């Protein structure tokens, strides 16, 4: 223990000048200085003794952070403009010792990074990220964190892309990495489009399909089309505005055409050997970027893959049905026409199972699809801007789908009472009485033992 005591004494002696200054400037009283010294002594004895835990370091760092916050508040109140010592260096020192001893504890690393970011010490954050990624290269969340930091804090898309590209070399089997990579690129496109709209440059564009040039180098690295800084942030070359040649070049660049997300998707599907679930995750993620000119192009590409992998899957069919109205507001000019296309696809989807599956499998798949169609269409009835004629069409469609659902449930009613009750509740919430009243009567005949469930559904 002599060695541990010597270490404790050494670390405490280093803080003596700081404490003397705090006492001299009356930021802390003598009694408070003694209390701080005792607290630090207790922490240092725990840290330097055998059996110290990562939590001990975390609590020590948190104590020093609170102490530094108090010091700043008192200095401001007393009018002390500056001091020769700050707690930042000490906090960094504690966290550095913690991560050096417990290199496998990601909680300590994240605490270290979070504090450095809060202090706006970008150089320190970069150093910490470099260290933790060297120690834990197979942790996808760290690569994603680093990429988000590079883009959000530093505004450096090249560095963010580099983090994810390198991360895929070690975490190529992580679906989250591939999805985050595509999300990062879509977010970047959104920023470019937003900037163009602010500048009044959002005009009808002729997009060039460069997806064919964005092929994978290997299973983990995607070859991206070359985009220069001039492509993304063209400088103004005259007082009249942005150089039109540069703008034309940007219009045709892969940054706006959707070629990069498509290349990432193709590489991911190749890596995961055409995984349908991954395709669905990509489709849903891209569909969230509803206001980008390249979104529809990317969704069409993903849907083509889905229809190749699982054309009869209810998950594929419901997205194929929804695709024409993704990103359209109910009051837009094209919504009624595109909704008509959705209705045609509903009819085709409910019929297409008959020729390719057994009767039992047909009913099961179609039942899942019917539930998804009802749950998808009902929210449109809540839109105040929805045209009344369109509203009537949706209600009629819901009746037809519900009628088909009843027929499919009758083939195998076991265990489906609660699901039907949930759908009846949702229909009741939208006051579709002409559907729900006969539906409850039918359900009570099918599941007489679950009368209480359907009574609750009627009260919703």
Residues 434 and 399 sit within 8 Å (Cβ to Cβ): yes
Residues 221 and 169 sit within 8 Å (Cβ to Cβ): yes
What is d(CA 350, CA 348) in angstroms, rounded to the nearest whole number?
Answer: 6
Dihedral over Cα of 156, 157, 161, 162: its sign: negative
* 336-383 tens-digit pLDDT: 999 999 999 999 988 865 555 455 456 678 888 999 999 999 999 888
Model confidence, pTM:
0.78
* 10-60 tens-digit pLDDT: 888 888 888 888 888 888 999 999 999 999 999 999 998 888 899 999 999
What is d(CA 423, CA 429) in angstroms, rounded to the nearest whole number?
Answer: 10
Q: What is the pLDDT of residue 354?
A: 56
What is d(CA 365, CA 296) in angstroms, rounded to the nearest whole number?
Answer: 27
Percent of the chain, pLDDT > 90? Answer: 45
């Amino acid at each position: 223990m002599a060695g541990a005591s010597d270490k404790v004494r050494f670390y405490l002696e280093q803080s003596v000048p700081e404490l003397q200054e705090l006492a001299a400037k009356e930021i802390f009283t003598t009694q408070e200085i003694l209390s701080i010294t005792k607290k630090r002594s207790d922490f240092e004895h725990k840290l330097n003794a055998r059996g110290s835990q990562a939590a001990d370091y975390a609590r020590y760092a948190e104590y020093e952070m609170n102490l530094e916050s108090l010091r700043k508040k008192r200095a401001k109140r007393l009018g002390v403009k500056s001091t020769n010592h700050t707690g930042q260096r000490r906090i960094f020192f504690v966290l550095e010792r913690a991560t050096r001893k417990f290199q496998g504890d990601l909680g300590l690393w994240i605490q270290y990074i979070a504090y450095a970011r809060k202090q706006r010490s970008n150089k320190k954050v970069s150093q910490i990220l470099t260290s933790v990624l060297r120690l834990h290269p197979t942790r996808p969340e760290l690569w994603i964190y680093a990429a988000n930091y590079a883009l959000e804090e530093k505004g450096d898309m090249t560095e963010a892309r580099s983090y994810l590209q390198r991360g895929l070399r070690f975490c190529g089997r992580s679906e989250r990495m591939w999805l985050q990579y595509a999300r990062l690129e879509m977010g970047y496109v959104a920023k470019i489009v937003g900037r163009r709209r602010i500048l009044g440059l959002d005009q009808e564009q002729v997009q060039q399909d460069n997806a064919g040039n964005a092929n994978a180098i290997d299973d983990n690295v995607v070859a991206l089309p070359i985009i220069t800084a001039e492509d993304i942030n063209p400088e103004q070359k005259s007082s009249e505005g942005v150089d039109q040649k540069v703008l034309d070049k940007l219009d045709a660049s892969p940054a706006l055409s959707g070629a990069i997300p498509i290349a990432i998707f193709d590489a991911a599907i190749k890596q995961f050997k055409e995984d349908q679930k991954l395709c669905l995750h990509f489709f849903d993620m891209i569909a969230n970027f509803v206001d980008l000119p390249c979104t529809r192009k990317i969704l069409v590409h993903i849907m083509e893959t889905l229809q190749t992998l699982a054309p009869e899957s209810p998950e594929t069919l419901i997205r194929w049905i929804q695709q024409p109205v993704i990103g359209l507001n109910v009051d837009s000019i094209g919504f009624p026409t595109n909704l008509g296309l959705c209705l045609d696809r509903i009819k085709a989807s409910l019929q297409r199972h008959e020729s390719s599956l057994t009767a039992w499998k047909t009913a099961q798949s179609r039942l899942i699809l019917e539930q998804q169609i009802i749950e998808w269409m009902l929210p449109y009835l809540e839109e105040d801007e929805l045209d009344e004629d369109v509203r009537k069409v949706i209600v009629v469609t819901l009746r037809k789908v519900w009628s088909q659902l009843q027929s499919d449930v009758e083939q195998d009613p076991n265990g489906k009472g609660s699901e039907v009750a949930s759908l009846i509740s949702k229909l009741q919430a939208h006051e579709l009485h002409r559907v729900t009243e006969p539906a409850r009567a039918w359900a009570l005949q099918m599941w007489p033992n679950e009368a209480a469930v359907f009574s609750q559904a009627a009260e919703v």
